């Protein structure tokens, strides 16, 4: 069995959230036990008692069950991993699962450490948490699977950092498609997830034109994808004949099947940012949809930060 441990700050935050909606009797019992601890004048002993109380109620409220169930579903993980550490994430984009080498630790085994990062609020949404964990743990299974042949670094593009970002986004999108396709065949899929992945795929691979739906189905239904297959596709996606003007985006220099020649979605603020970064660019030159989205997102985040 894989040993699962939880960070104290995650446990405390999750328990304090869960007790707000717990049955009245449980809420009263928890608050009574917690209030009693304040009477101890010894700070270290009091803090230790708080941690023990929160761990006790973490289990009483069943907050650990979805994680234990999701890990148990992937029996192949237990063969390669002996310890899972669950940490608190403070933002949605920080949530996920990853592997870390356990080195320079006395008496530590040679197996990697599985780290799962989640927000406390997600522990209270069991349906969403289960779907999230199944998807993330399938990522980990691929990383550990020699047949998948995962490598952390992707080949660098000849077209610079912007193109490298696009490659990473496309790789992540394609990998997500294959993962949710396999989960669907295991009985964990739903129409909404398939439609969401299809939309993401169409946005990332607009150069496929009328072949988009068929190609998406091929990847979603692929039984045993490999890292090299994903890399080959995202580095050299086929260009459809019916998708408009082909060539390279004048900004990121990445090959695309079509450019927005009169990008109505481009705000005046984003246009000014582009002209500042690329003095020789004119709106009539067009740009790829991903560069357009990147500059619009940068403009929105800049305004929000200010």
Q: What is the pLDDT of residues 64-120, one digit of tens each?
A: 999 999 999 988 888 889 899 999 999 999 999 999 875 534 445 568 899 999 999
CA dist 292 and 295 (Å) reads 5
Chain segment 264-301, per-residue pLDDT in tens: 667 888 888 888 888 888 777 778 877 888 887 765 54
Using the predicted structure, report yes or no on whether residue 49 has a pLDDT greater than 50. Answer: yes
CA dist 121 and 134 (Å) reads 18
Q: What is the mean pLDDT of the chain?
A: 86
* Dihedrals phi, psi of 117, to nearest 5 degrees: -115, 125
Q: What is the pTM of this model?
A: 0.76
Chain segment 107-140, per-residue pLDDT in tens: 455 688 999 999 999 999 999 999 999 999 999 9
Q: What is the pLDDT of residue 159?
A: 66
Asked if residue 206 lies in contact with residue 243, where contact means CB atoms within 8 angstroms, the answer is: yes
Degrees, nearest 5: CA angle 16-68-196: 85
Share of the chain above pLDDT 70, in %: 87
Asked if residue 178 lies in contact with residue 189, where contact means CB atoms within 8 angstroms, the answer is: no
* Dihedrals phi, psi of 248, to nearest 5 degrees: -120, 145
Q: What is the pLDDT of residue 106?
A: 40
Chain segment 174-203, per-residue pLDDT in tens: 999 999 999 999 999 788 899 999 999 998
CA dist 128 and 187 (Å) reads 16
Asked if residue 260 lies in contact with residue 234, where contact means CB atoms within 8 angstroms, the answer is: no
Q: Cβ–Cβ contacts within 10 Å for residue 171, how many?
A: 18
Q: What is the pLDDT of residue 305?
A: 41
**Domain range annotation of the chain:** 3-144, 259-305
| Three-state SS at 145 | coil
Q: What is the pLDDT of residue 303?
A: 45
């Amino acid at each position: 069995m894989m040993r699962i441990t939880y960070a104290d700050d995650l446990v405390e935050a999750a328990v304090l959230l869960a007790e707000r909606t717990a049955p009245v009797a449980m809420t009263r019992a928890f608050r009574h036990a917690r209030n009693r601890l304040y009477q101890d004048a010894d700070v270290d002993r009091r803090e230790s008692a708080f941690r023990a109380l929160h761990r006790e109620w973490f289990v009483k409220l069943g907050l650990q069950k979805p994680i234990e169930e999701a890990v148990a579903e992937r029996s192949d993980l237990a063969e390669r991993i002996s310890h899972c550490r669950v940490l608190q994430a403070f933002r949605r984009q920080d949530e996920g699962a990853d592997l870390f080498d356990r080195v320079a630790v006395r008496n530590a085994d040679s197996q990697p450490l599985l780290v799962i990062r989640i927000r406390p609020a997600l522990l209270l949404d069991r349906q969403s948490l289960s779907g999230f964990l199944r998807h993330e743990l399938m990522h980990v299974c691929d990383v550990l699977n020699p047949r998948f042949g995962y490598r952390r670094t992707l080949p660098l593009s000849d077209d610079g950092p912007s193109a490298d970002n696009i490659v990473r986004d496309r790789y992540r999108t394609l990998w997500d498609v294959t993962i949710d396709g396999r989960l669907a065949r295991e009985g964990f899929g739903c129409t909404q997830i398939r439609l969401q992945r299809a939309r993401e795929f169409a946005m990332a691979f607009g150069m496929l034109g009328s072949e988009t739906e068929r190609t998406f189905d091929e990847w979603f239904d692929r039984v045993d994808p490999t890292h090299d297959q994903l890399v080959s596709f995202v580095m050299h996606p086929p260009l459809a004949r019916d998708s408009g003007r082909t060539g390279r985006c004048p900004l990121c220099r990445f090959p695309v099947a079509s450019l927005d020649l009169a990008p109505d979605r481009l705000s005046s603020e984003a246009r000014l940012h582009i002209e500042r970064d690329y003095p020789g660019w004119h709106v009539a030159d067009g740009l790829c949809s991903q560069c357009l989205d990147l500059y619009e997102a940068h403009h929105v985040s800049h305004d929000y930060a200010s």
